[in-house]
Homo-oligomer: A and B are copies of this chain.
Amino acid sequence: MEKRRACMLLCQWSFTKAISNHCRVLHRALCFQRSSNQVIRFYGSAPLERSASFSEIKSEDINYFKSILGENNVIQDPDRLQPANTDWMDKYKGSSKLMLLPRSTEEVSHLLRYCDSRSLAIVPQGGNTGLVGGSVPVFDEVIINMSSMNKIISFDKASGILVCEAGCILENLESFLDNEGFVMPLDLGAKGSCQIGGNVSTNAGGLRLVRYGSLHGNVLGIEAVLANGTVMDMLGTLRKDNTGYDLKHLFIGSEGSLGIVTKISILTPPKLSATNVAFLACNDYFSCQKLLFEARRKLGEVLSAFEFLDSHAMDVVLKNLDGIRNPLPPYNFYVLIETTGSDESYDREKLETFLFRLMESGLILDGVVAQDINQVLSFWRIREGIPEALMKSGAVYKYDLSLPLEKMYDLVDEMRARLGHPANVVGYGHLGDGNLHLNITAPHYDDAILAQIEPYVYEWTSKHRGSISAEHGIGLMKANKIHYSKPPEVVQLMVSIKKLMDPNGILNPYKVLPHHLSANN
């Protein structure tokens, strides 16, 4: 025991910078062909046709939109349409000829009522930072971009409740709250571009979920406009309200397919000043899991991140990224623990006591605690550098899965045994949330490897009651794969609710629900 290194040096620091440096995870589809033809798109093996039930835009439509929004907010300029037609990974491309920029809920209502009456299909768009093709047109859908609805409506310091329009950029809200001594209960790599309306519509997870929970718990109210233009005022600012069905939850995570979210009321926690980060080594996955259990119990109220990576992930990072070093000797598993609390000295002492105890017990084989901001950033850089390092190491097959904790790493082991050389199977993720990023690299894309992975990975996830989309949503990418995580009865009720709320299917068509069950197919 005494031979183990234990450079447990502690420091407290501001975490803002580290978070804004987080890398965004790139997910590239492998079995994806894009047709140049605007009428038929191929996603995987199934051709997708533009629904004949949708009208095409006519000059009268443009005139109507201009009468509602003014000339400047009706965008037909191809140069401005191009980025709105393309997702940020440059993977999904639509061919919309029209983008509308409403400035108020009333304008959104007018636009939707008109589009519904004319059967014009719509894509609601926020910051367009989604990873599953949910925020860009598939064909020629009209883009309703929410960026002009970007006002903060109110903030109550006593309760921490913020009310704002859907187009507010997450980072701007974060800055506003920072001045007030509060934080948003979610944080994402895309914070500089993504909008709160999009975050809510996709039920974005992000970096603070382990601490503050999901948006279903934090969003107190929503104003949304239905396909027929009806404004649903559910913009309560109350922590408790048991008057009937809580319909706002239908709009959280439905990816704009049931209505356009126009305003949000959200509970924001007070900003806590003291953050500490430890980088630790464990012998096996079971120890990582046990460490999480102990951390929940002993660090309970200050635990703010619990990330893990295996030695394969560490090797990929060390090999492909410059200026990164492993602060520990080689081990099988690494865990990054972050605490955030209100008291520097207490939090430091608490983490230190916790880590020493588990070093003594042998659960932690080795560990180092950041002693300055540079060390903090370097530890996070290892974890956050994995996606970038993977991209540099060859072809990457990427999966964003939720799995029961005790089963999570079995999939990595099984996949490793299944694929053998030359594939490299890498496991890492948000262990605190049960979210595994399973990545497989190979020298080049190979259908034979893909056939070994899929549908096996989805079937395995399904068999263990996991989720094939932990945090990114369904969008266009996984619309036909939802059955791996949801049984037919549940999908059928989703379809029925979609038909009830959007009978003409104009809102974000081809997304979220299986194409053969959708309103327009």
Contacts and interface: CB of A to CB of B under 8 A. Distances in A.
A280 to B, nearest CB: 16
Contact of A236 (B156, B216, B467, B500): B467
Contact of A497 (B254, B482, B485, B500): B500
Contacts of A4: none
Interface in A264-298: 269-270, 272, 289-290, 292-293, 296-298
A238 B272 contact: no
A434 interface: yes
Contact of A243 (B236, B249, B300, B482): B482
A259 to B, nearest CB: 10
B490 A233 contact: yes
Contacts of A298: 342
A393 interface: no
Contact of A469 (B243, B435, B497): B243
Given A244-B474, A465-B236, A470-B240, A156 B252 contact: no
A21 interface: no
Given A158-B293, A230-B489, A494 B244 contact: yes
Given A181-B297, A231-B489, A489-B230, A245 B237 contact: no
Interface string A127-151: 0000000000000000000000000
Nearest to A250: B245
Contacts of A210: 239
A258 B244 CA distance: 11
A189 interface: no
A478 interface: yes
A422 interface: no
Contacts of A250: 245, 249-250
Interface residues of A, number: 96
B239 A434 contact: yes
Interface string A450-480: 0000000000000001111111111000100
A170 to B, nearest CB: 17
A208 to B, nearest CB: 12
A238 B474 contact: no
A470 B242 contact: yes
A93 to B, nearest CB: 23
Interface stretch (A42-50, A324-332, A401-409, A411-419): A401-409
Given A435-B240, A467-B236, A494-B245, A406 B474 contact: no
A493 interface: yes
Contacts of A159: 292, 404-405, 434
A51 interface: no
Interface string A419-431: 0000000000010
Contacts of A213: 213, 217-218
A68 to B, nearest CB: 21
A258 B482 CA distance: 23
B512 A244 contact: yes
A203 B159 CA distance: 21
B242 A253 contact: yes
A486 B244 contact: yes
Contacts of A487: 233
Contacts of A465: 235-238
Contacts of A478: 243
Given A238-B402, A243-B486, A245-B253, 4 more contacts: A205-B240, A230-B489, A231-B489, A242-B472
19 contacts: A181-B297, A214-B239, A214-B240, A230-B489, A231-B489, A232-B489, A234-B486, A237-B465, A239-B434, A240-B402, A240-B430, A244-B254, A244-B491, A244-B513, A246-B253, A270-B300, A343-B346, A493-B501, A497-B500
Interface of A: 156-160, 181, 202-203, 205, 209-210, 213-214, 216-218, 226, 230-247, 249-250, 252-254, 258, 269-270, 272, 289-290, 292-293, 296-302, 341-343, 346, 350, 402-406, 430, 433-435, 465-474, 478, 482, 484-487, 489-491, 493-494, 496-497, 500-501, 512-513
In order of increasing CB-CB distance, the 9 nearest A-B pairs are: A217-B217, A249-B249, A241-B467, A301-B301, A243-B485, A238-B402, A240-B470, A270-B297, A158-B293
